[in-house]
Structure 1
Amino acid sequence: MFNLSVLRQFSRLSICPAVKLPVNVRSIGTTSALQLKITEPLCAEPMKKKKKVDPAIVKAREDRRRKKIEKQIRRLEKNARQLKPIDEMEVPLHLLDQLGKRRRPTPKLTQEALDARALLQKDWARYKREEYVASVNQIDRIMAAQRRALDKLYEESEDLYNEAIMPDMQLIPYSISGPVATPPIKGYDSPDGEYVDVSKKWDN
């Protein structure tokens, strides 16, 4: 209990912190034994009442938002697959308009012409097969002759055989330099094509 005689010696104006105390703590007098704890005012307002929302409405909103995002993703993927147009490879519009006039009808071939073409194709296929077989036989003969020569060399001298099968390091790596089909032009900045950027901008 507090000493009432001590409390009467102090007025309300003399109540001040004498020493460093924790927040919201004021002492009476010079001793730290007499302390009063005063709570600071709380500025608050009553909490707003939450509105009850139907779960079906919330689910419908989430579905619409998800569908919208998926649609944007599909649109971006579709635009990503489109290549940049090249003016040199596009057909002029006036030629497309004259396509009906420029298109030639397919000629009707007679039975004799069809038979002649079929025989010609068979002769060409037979010629190409004979050419392929002759090329393979020639490669086989060359490889067999090389194998026989190496075998004879191995019988004569094993050192010469090892030197013969060693790769020629002067040919590896092989590099050449010479004129190209289109010589480069110094300081030429190749154009990137003319196009209009029509891609949509999406805000984050």
Structure 2
Amino acid sequence: MLFLVSSSRNISTYIHPLYFRATEVLLGEPLKKKKRIDPAVVRAREERKRKKLQKRVRQLEKHATHMKPIFEIDTLPELLQNEKRSCHLSVPLSEKEIERRKSLEKEWCKYKHAQWIRDLHVIKSIMKSQEIALKELKAVSKQLYKRAVEFDDLYMPYSVTGPVYTPPIKNYDSPDGEYIETTVKYVGE
């Protein structure tokens, strides 16, 4: 017995009349009838919304003259009188001191530039000698050459610490990133 099947959009047609099968659900359903709502209920809802908005506007107008306090800017009087908080930069620098600092900065820049040039020369000479050594190693033994050019994971963890702009503060307890939310919420927000 020969069955020819052609399917198009989950609708199957079969040659043999006694052979049938159920197709997949096509995700269709009849449209839902709209519910009729009493016009008085709709008006009452709209009236409630309008009254709510009017009340909100009145509250905002009532508090419009009040300024929102910013607690982050206010400082305690005890902290302002504290001598530990006195700024050492409040004293104006003399012309001689300004010139001295400029000359020190220029000398430092020259020193760091010369150090960078020296480091470049050292790196270039090391790379050149490495290339020569690898060529000679390849000529001697290809296995040793392959082992020499393999990537070594031991050299990857690299960390450097250097001089910072300001010296560290003694007995400073650094924050670890956690904080408590203390923002005050107001009616107008």
Provide TM-score, normalisation by structure 1.
Answer: 0.38
Provide TM-score, normalisation by structure 2.
Answer: 0.40
- Looking at CA atoms only, which structure, 1 or 2, has the larger radius of gyration? 1
